[in-house]
Amino acid sequence: MPVAAVTGLGAVTALGPDVASLAAGLAEGRCAIGPLTLFEHGGRCRIAAEVPDLPASASRGLPPATARRLSRSDRLALAAAAEACRHAGLEPPERAGVAVYVGASVGGMHEAEAAWRRRRTGADHRWRLSRLVATPVAVSAAVVSQALGLFGPRATFSTACSSSALAVAEAAAAIGRGRMRVALALGTDGLCRLTYAGFDALQALDPAPCRPFAADRAGLSLGEGAGALVVEDLEHARARGARILALVLGAGIAADAHHPTAPHPEGAGALRALRAALDAAGVTPEAVDYVNAHGTGTRQNDAVEVGVLRTVLGTRLRRVPVSSTKSQLGHTLAAAGAIEAVVTVLALETGLLPPTVNLRTPEPAWGDVDFVPVPGRRQPLRIALSSSYGFGGHDVTLVLARAH
Amino acid sequence: MIVDVAVTGLGVVSALASGVAPFAEALRAGRSACGPPRRIEVPAGAHVAEVVALEARSVVRSAVGRRIDRTSLLALAAACLALDDAGLPHDAAGGPRGGLALSSAFGNLSETETFVERLLARGTGNPLVFPNLVLNAPLGYVSIELGVTGPSAMLNEQEASGEAAIQWGAQLVADGVVDVCLAGGADEVTAMLWRIHQETRTLAAGPPRPLDAAARGACPGEGAAVLVLEPLARARARGARVYARLVPDPGFAVAAPVHGWPRDAERIAAGLRARLAGVDAVVASASGAPALDALEAEALAYAAPGVPVTAPRGAIGDFGTAGALAVVVAALAVAGGFVPPTPGCRTPRHPGLDVVRSTARERPVRAALVTGLARGGIVRPVRLEEA
Amino acid sequence: MNRADLLAEVKSLLATGLRLDRSPSDIPDDTPIFGEGLGLDSIDALELVVLVEERFHVSIPDEEVGKRAFASVSALADFIATERTR
């Protein structure tokens, strides 16, 4: 059965416009959660991990009229996708058959909100198509496909926080079926008022930067960004001399079937997803060297997640580092799966474990767990897990392996 | 190993009719649900295709489901009807060998509207409403009500959303990962959505006329369809009625304006040609929107001249997941040996196209293809073959 | 309204109404509205028809009329001027 390899990475996050700045920020243990400036918000929380200086125009490869209408989520997606394709050395002739799998939940809502306000206040006398065409979440996939000339199969997944983990899983599965050589897996979400106000109204946001796994953790911090991975048939990658960064050994997808927002108290879906992932990858729990957690910093998620890891890893958990990238990048919602997969690939490739920042005192019952305190450290890794859990109890775990 | 995928249950909640038998009968009779408003508050002369009777009581069992939104309810109702139609209990998609693939183009419109209105007016969001606004709310509610804990996904491909979800589900079955998969989609229509169409000049005056030379716009509608998909061998072993076999297909993409319809009909025809081999009926995506209709008509004239074509959006209205109902139409065509007429089409715009009009074409349909065209250049065909 | 003012209004409509990345004064009179110069597409075309209706109260009923009216910025100004005197 064909093996799925990762041959290119792209990322635009609050830590910077590319993978290099992401890697540097991870190594520094820098927390990119700061003041919310993108829009006004009247609630109790005023912070977010915003992408700084996102260029207003993207857009080589797109007609000017299209470029004018790109949403924030589109521009993030395009930048990350372009970087990943460049990194993978995918030239135009090779691009025509490349599949595009995207995870997205916000789409052009930020721009639609502005259009809505204009319509309500009478600044616009009627709804204007040009202000609304970028709203659907599937548009980012079209933007990436048309701008970069990727005309293979295309799909957009929207399962909230697990969306782009699902996209990575789908890319690997498509390669595994043997009918596709190269796929781009991508996740993107820009900040918008609706999402921010919604999470704040649910009292899910920590007014201070989130503290995943801390005893006094008080909620999540919202972020934005895009992550992209070129997932390619290993033999095909070798034949064209591509650099193999990591392997995607397998994925598990499962559901809690419990509650629209709260996770199953015992993490039934998360457990199922993790076990299914290990099973699909042909990997035992003993082989796992690192876990990049969902780790949002909410009281519920972190507790459930540690419980699930204890159940699967048993006493070995104390020797398996577990860190939350959301402590640095905030929760990038649908982009989280892909961005955190990028982070996990970097960890496998360089041996640099990203830390969990803002963690002064972990939950006492988790004193035996290694959450990778700042400043992170070097440790050779062979097999790593990356988990993402979405609203509605949609759970995905990816199993990634070092290239050699 | 690739497993043959059987369609064993059809669940439809539509403006035309709910339940597969009434739906088939209305299709055959050439009726259209596109007419004056009965539910949403739009001008009396407007044309919309609304689902009128939709009750939560019969399908919602859980405490959590008390808050279910309309779009999720449409999906859930269709899923329950599909399981009934397949002769399966409502927990048949539960357990590790059950799967779920849903889609929605716009999701929970009505509650998004109230949430944003309040946010703009008061600066705060309503915490009771927010959980329902995630696009995958239907996935959550359906999985909770029907106990689906296996692999699941929520897809969005604009006008081809229904086809995309059905193909994801079919692939799960074909991969041997699940034994029962529910797959389909739902969308609702609201007054605000209608007004957006009206103000952006994308509405026809009068009923839609898909593939007609005088087509001037689509008719906003709502509805849901869910299919039960099983391995063919398993379906036969349990004595299930098999409507058709579904051929898994990842679809393809063509160059196109990001926010619009492709212009190169030949490219689309080239992609569809192999999928049209031996096809006796085409279920078109045409909605009465001139740009789409013209593109599709030309592509089909190239790729499948003389093959009977039907465009169900003339009967059920236009919405992102109408393609899920189009797949139902294709399944009924194969199983029932008929190609329904296209309401509103009198004079086809393209002479090379055999658009079935006025009366249903009664004839064996060994294979049918749903074209699955969407803006931005994605094409998600769904091919059904006699089992 | 004299022709110079009308031309300026049309350019302003194009630049700000369609949210183009240029100032009205940077649009030459003979620029074809749907050529390479302004980088407009079919969504813009639809918007422009409505903007012209709202601003100048003249209608562009079909593609034929549209082709003439949108041949260039000055053609559009002339079209508006003519239609307004009907």
- Same structural domain for residues B234 and B254? no
Number of domains forming the structure of chain A: 1
User: Any alpha helices (H) in A177-313, and if so which ranges?
Assistant: 193-201, 234-239, 268-281, 299-313
- Which residues face C23 on adjacent strands? none
In angstroms, the separation between the Cα of residue A65 and the nearest Cα of chain C is 6
C-alpha span between A124 and A126 (Å, rounded): 5
Q: How far is the alpha carbon of A84 from chain C, nearest alpha carbon, in Å? A: 29
Q: Are B387 and B166 in contact (CB under 8 A)?
A: no
Q: Pick from C43, C49, C50: which is nearest to B259 by CB?
A: C43
**CATH code, domain carrying C12:** 1.10.1200.10
SS3 A146: helix
For A65, the closest of C41, C50, C54 (CB atoms) is C41
B236 and B202 share one domain = yes
CB pairs under 8 A between A and B: 217
How many alpha carbons fall within 13 Å on the CB side of residue A35? 3
Residue B233: exposure state from Cβ atoms within 10 A (0-12, 13-18, ≥19): exposed
Asked if residue A335 lies in contact with residue A164, where contact means CB atoms within 8 angstroms, the answer is yes
Q: Cα A183 to chain center, whole Å?
A: 17
Listed residue (B202, B205, B207) closest to B344, CA to CA: B207
* Domain at B23, CATH number: 3.40.47.10
C18 neighbourhood in chain A, CB within 8 Å: 130
Q: Sign of dihedral through CA atoms A256, A257, A259, A261?
A: positive
How far is the C-alpha of B276 from the C-alpha of B367, rounded, in Å?
Answer: 8
Alpha-carbon distance A141 to A155, whole Å?
A: 8
Q: What are phi and psi of B355, to 5 degrees?
A: -85, 125
Beta carbons of C16 and C37 less than 8 angstroms apart? no
Q: What percent of chain C has pLDDT over 70?
A: 100
Cβ distance A130 to C40 less than 8 Å, yes or no, reads: no
Looking only at the bridges linking them, the beta strands covering A394-402 and A246-255 are antiparallel
Two structure tokens written together for A359 = 């963690």
Structure tokens that stand for B350 in this block: 């393209």
From C43's Cα to the closest Cα of chain A, the distance in A is: 6
A55 band by pLDDT with thresholds 50, 70 and 90: confident
- Position B300, amino acid: L
Chain B interface test: which of A119, A151, A192 (most B C-beta within 10 Å):
A151
DSSP 8-state code for residue A222: B
Average pLDDT estimate for A54-73: 85
Q: What's the CA gap between A241 and A220, in Å, rounded?
A: 42
Q: What percentage of chain B reaches a pLDDT higher than 70?
A: 100
Distance from C-alpha of B93 to C-alpha of B147, rounded to nearest angstrom: 7
- Which H or E element spans position C56? helix C42-56
Given a cut of 60, is residue A58 above it in pLDDT?
no
Sign of the dihedral through C-alpha B136, B139, B140, B142:
positive
User: B80 and B59 in contact (C-beta within 8 Å)?
Assistant: yes
What mean pLDDT is reported for chain B? 96
Query: Helix H segments across chain B?
Result: 20-28, 70-85, 109-122, 137-146, 161-174, 191-199, 232-237, 265-273, 290-303, 313-316, 322-336
Q: Give the model's confidence band at B269: pLDDT under 50 very low, under 70 low, under 90 confident, else very high.
A: very high
Q: Is the dihedral of CA B91, B95, B98, B100 positive or negative?
A: positive
Q: Pick from B278, B263, B282: which is nearest to B353 by CA? A: B282
Q: Which residues of A touch C44 (CB under 8 A)?
A: 65, 130
Structural domain tally of chain B? Answer: 2
Please compute the mean of the pLDDT values over residues C28-52 and round it to a whole number: 88
Which of A242-256, A336-350, C32-46 is the least confident region?
A: C32-46
Which of B126, B149, B173, B192 to mutate: most A Cβ within 10 Å?
B149
Question: What would you measure as the largest C-alpha separation in chain A, in angstroms?
Answer: 65
Q: What are phi and psi of A321, to 5 degrees?
A: -65, 140
Tell me the C-alpha distance between B29 and B36, whole Å: 20
d(CA A353, CA A365): 23
Query: What are B21-51's pLDDT values in tens digits?
Result: 999 999 999 999 999 999 999 999 999 999 9
User: Which active-site residues of A does the annotation give?
Assistant: 161, 294, 331
- The answer, yes or no, to whether residue B286 has pLDDT greater than 80, is yes
Answer whether A153 sits within 8 Å of B252, measured CB to CB. yes
Give the domain range for residue C51.
Answer: 3-84
DSSP per position, B227-289: EEEEEHHHHHHTT----EEEE----EE----TTS--S-HHHHHHHHHGGGTT-SEEE----S-
Per DSSP, chain C holds a count of helices (H) and strands (E) of: 4, 0
How does pLDDT run across A370-396, given as a tens digit for each residue?
999 998 899 999 999 999 999 889 999
Q: Using the predicted structure, report yes or no on whether residue A212 has a pLDDT greater than 60.
A: yes
Which residue of C31, C43, C48 to mutate against A (max A Cβ within 10 Å)?
C43
- Report percent pLDDT > 90 for chain A: 93
Chain C residue set in contact with B, beta carbons under 8 Å: 41-43, 46, 49-50
Q: What is the pLDDT of residues B91-149, one digit of tens each?
A: 999 999 999 999 999 999 999 999 999 999 999 999 999 999 999 999 999 999 999 99
**B41 and B182: one domain?**
yes
Closest CA to B206 of B34, B24, B3: B34
Site of tokens 């407007």: B46
Chain C CB contacts of A68 below 8 Å? 19-21
Q: How many CB atoms lie within 10 A of CB C67?
A: 12
pLDDT of residue B295 exceeding 60? yes
Domain around A264: 4-402
CB A108 within 8 Å of CB A138: no
**What are the two backbone dihedrals, phi and then psi, of residue B310, each rounded to the nearest 5 degrees?**
-130, 145
Per-residue pLDDT, B61: 93
What's the token pair of residue B72? 């999720």
How many angstroms separate the first and last alpha carbons of chain B? 19
Q: Quick one: pLDDT at residue C35?
A: 77
Number of residues assigned to chain C: 86
B176 with B116, same domain: the answer is yes
pLDDT confidence bin for A43, thresholds 50/70/90: confident
Q: Do the Cβ atoms of C41 and B260 come within 8 Å?
A: yes
How many domains does one find in chain C? 1
Domain match, B283 and B216 both: no
Q: What distance in Å separates the CA atoms of residue B364 and residue A282, rounded to the nearest whole number?
A: 47
Q: Do B135 and A158 touch (CB under 8 A)?
A: yes
CB-CB neighbors (< 8 A) of B257 in chain C: 41-42
pLDDT bracket for residue B81 (50, 70, 90): very high
Whichever domain contains A129, its CATH number is: 3.40.47.10
* Interchain contact, C46 vs B200, CB within 8 Å: yes
Average pLDDT over residues A69-96: 95
- pLDDT tens digits, residue range A289-347? 999 999 999 999 999 999 999 999 999 999 999 999 999 999 999 999 999 999 999 99
Handedness of CA A155, A161, A162, A168 (dihedral sign): positive
Interchain proximity B259–C46, CB inside 8 Å = no
Chains B, C: CB contacts within 8 A come to 11
pTM of the complete model = 0.97
* A32 close to A330: Cβ distance less than 8 angstroms: yes
Asked if the C-beta of A63 comes within 8 angstroms of chain C's C-beta atoms, the answer is yes
- Beta partners for residue B384, in sequence order: B246, B368
Give the domain-ending residue among B191, B218, B246.
Answer: B246
C partners (3+ CB pairs within 8 A) are: A, B
Compute the distance between CA of residue B360 and CA of residue A117 in angstroms, rounded to an integer: 48
Q: How far apart are CA B63 and CA B163, in angstroms?
A: 31
Confidence check: pLDDT of C26 > 80: yes
**A-chain residues within 8 Å CB-CB of C39?**
63-65
Q: Which residue has the higher pLDDT, A398 or C21?
A: A398
Tokens standing for B69?
């939104």
Query: Do B65 and B191 lie in a common domain?
Result: yes
Residue B68: its pLDDT value, please? Answer: 96
Q: At what angle do helices A109-121 and A193-201 cross, to 10 degrees?
A: 90
Q: Specify whether B229 is located in the same domain as B260.
A: no
Report helix, strand or coil for B203: strand
- 3-class secondary-structure state, position B184: strand
Render pLDDT for A113-171 as a digit per residue (tens, 0 to 9): 999 999 999 999 999 999 999 999 999 999 999 999 999 999 999 999 999 999 999 99
Q: Which of B179, B211, B246 is the last residue of a domain?
A: B246
Domain that holds residue B151: 5-246
Task: Indicate the helix (H) or strand (E) that contains A121.
Answer: helix A109-121
Same domain assignment for residues B112 and B204: yes
Which range (A5-14, A249-258, A305-314, B55-64) has the least confidence? B55-64
B214 min Cα distance to partner chain C (Å): 13
Q: Is B221 helix (H, G, I), strand (E, B) or coil?
A: strand
β-partners of residue A252 are: A397
Among B246, B265, B299, which residue terminates a domain?
B246
Mean pLDDT of B306-312: 97
Preceding amide of B22 cis, omega within 30: no
Residue C5: band (very low, low, confident or very high) from pLDDT cuts 50, 70, 90: very high
A138 Cβ under 8 Å from any chain C Cβ = no
Closest chain A residue to C21, measured at CA: A68
Whether A23 has a pLDDT exceeding 90, the answer reads: yes
**Contact criterion met (CB below 8 Å) for A102 and A159:** no
Point out the residue among C41, C46, C49 whose CB comes nearest to the CB of B257: C41
Contact C46 B201 (CB under 8 A): yes
Q: Say whether B141 and A260 touch across the interface (CB within 8 A).
A: yes
Q: Using CB atoms, which residue from B115, B120, B141 is nearest to A117?
A: B120
Is residue A263 within 8 A of residue A256, CB to CB? The reply is yes
The predicted model gives C30-52 an average pLDDT of 88
